Amino acid sequence: MSQESQHGKWTMSSSEDEEDAPPVISKSAGKPGAHEPADEDEGSKNVHSLFRTSQKLNPVHNTDIKVEPSQSAISSKAMGSEARQAAHSNTQNPVKFQTKVPSPAVKRKKETEESGWALSSSDEESPDSVSGSQKNRQNPSPKRKKVEDKKPPSPHGTSYYKEEPDEFFETSLPPLDNTFRFYLTKVTGIEKKYNTGALHIKEILSPLFGTLKESVQFNYCFDIAWMVQQYPPEFRDKPVMIVHGEKRESKARLIQQAQPYGHVRFCQAKLDIAFGTHHTKMMLLWYEEGFRVAILTSNLIRADWYQKTQGLWLSPLYPRLPEGSPGTAGESPTNFKHDLVEYLAAYRAPELAEWIERIKEHDLSETRVHLIGSTPGRYQGADMERWGHLRLRKLLRENTTPFLGEEAWPIVGQFSSIGSMGIDKTKWLAAEFQQTLATLGSAKKSFVRSEIAMRLVYPTVDDVRTSLEGYPAGGSLPYSIQTAQRQLWLHSYFHRWSSKTSGRSHAMPHIKTYMRTSP
């Protein structure tokens, strides 16, 4: 099933089959209708049960990539996550808060039509018009042709966004963190000092970082017209490839968006399982001077770069290797080059073959992070540790060292969506994910890792209400009340969102971060 809001489509898993009603606001979420689907669901959980009992299967539902610092005992990551774009939704109406459960007929109509959260035709008609339509059944009028919008809508309406002044953007290369190269994105409406060192998409694509020749944009939601405008004029006609997971009608709408832009072409990600989604948010940037990778948490829509807390990892500029260099040249201590090439090869897409060869021709040895990819499928044996959180567990086992008193170090998890995790913590959260995040070295555990404190950070209704965006910010924080009511045990883990040191307490998080930190 899928529901669509003015933020985009929310693909729902089999675990939500009994939940016919659209999600409504809960004690830990904003408004329904998110960019991204919930990251875990009962469909996923059931397959995970096979893994727990047989130790043979590792399911991965999403195409996604993350980066991990390589030289630290603290597990910290910036993930990339969470809705198919609603290119045809009404851009004029703000997000509506629905408190009344619709009738079964209306619910069925909402589930089957591509119009998503917009009112059905029966809702829009007055009693008179309904009776009139009944009278005219013998002489039906021609169906009205649907008008497709050219770009995804704003949750606030078209007049919400304000153009940032020139001084908002950097005119020289901003201060760069050469160790982990992790950055926040700029936020409109906060003090200037809090945007110092942060990056906007216009800066990432600007000549400050290189003379761009060609690029690839991997993402989940796209506004093609807006994306093209983020390239500087001198690069605006350079070839761009869009890597997406859209199918059927939504794919047709995406291609329709790009019709005015002859330099934009497409690569469709193959999603071989029923609930696979393409969450990867990444840029491959090829310059006259070399090559660069950016891994993001932001969709390619304006709302994600305006007043949300987002993160990104920006690689160094990778120089070209000398002619005749062996295929193993230019590897980093973290095997980043190998893992990136392996991830791109997993798409099985001829369109990416040329980019794989380009990457092989560059020196990526300065990379200081590990790459963790996810590709849909079920994996056995050694392949179980190639992708997803079991890959993270392997890296933590191989690259960290146990130490006395480590059980006192809490795990802090912060994210933008919540799915079904079972009737209690043992079904997935503590039994699998927490075990991964608590891994330190390969020594036998001397304590029960499930007893390690785990603090999950998620905005409350009041956080959303008082945010820079107001209630529409909740569209990027999906957690249906039906799912919440089935896992009340999760509430004991919750901690409120706060970001005082970066001035982003009122910029709702679409970022995903996990860490293990000293008390």
Binding residues for substrate: 281, 512
Catalytically annotated residue among 244, 362, 389, 510:
510
Catalytically annotated residue among 279, 370, 389, 506:
279
Q: Position 126: which residue type?
A: S
- SS3 for 413? strand
Are 329 and 365 a contacting pair, CB within 8 Å?
A: no
Rounded to 5 degrees, φ, ψ at 251 are -65, -40
Q: Binding site, residues?
A: 281, 512
| Catalytic residue list contains 279 | yes
304 exposure class (CB count in 10 Å sphere: 0-12, 13-18, 19+): buried
- Integer angstrom CA distances of residue 289 from 53, 285, 316: 51, 11, 12
| Share in percent of the chain as helix, strand, coil (round to 5) | 30, 20, 50
Q: Scan for tokens 């809960």, then name that residue.
A: 26
| Catalytic residue list contains 495 | no
- SS3 for 37? coil
Q: Scan for tokens 């120089």, then name that residue.
A: 319
Cross-strand partners of 374: 64
Q: Which letter, b or e, does each residue of 463-489 get, where b requires 16 or more Cβ atoms within 10 Å of its Cβ?
A: bbeebbbbbbbbbbbbbbbbbbebbee
Positive or negative, the CA dihedral 226, 232, 233, 237 is negative
State the DSSP code for 58: E
State the DSSP code for 146: P
Please state, as a whole number, how many other Cβ atoms lie within 10 Å of the Cβ of residue 178.
Answer: 9
Q: Which positions are annotated as active-site residues? A: 279, 510
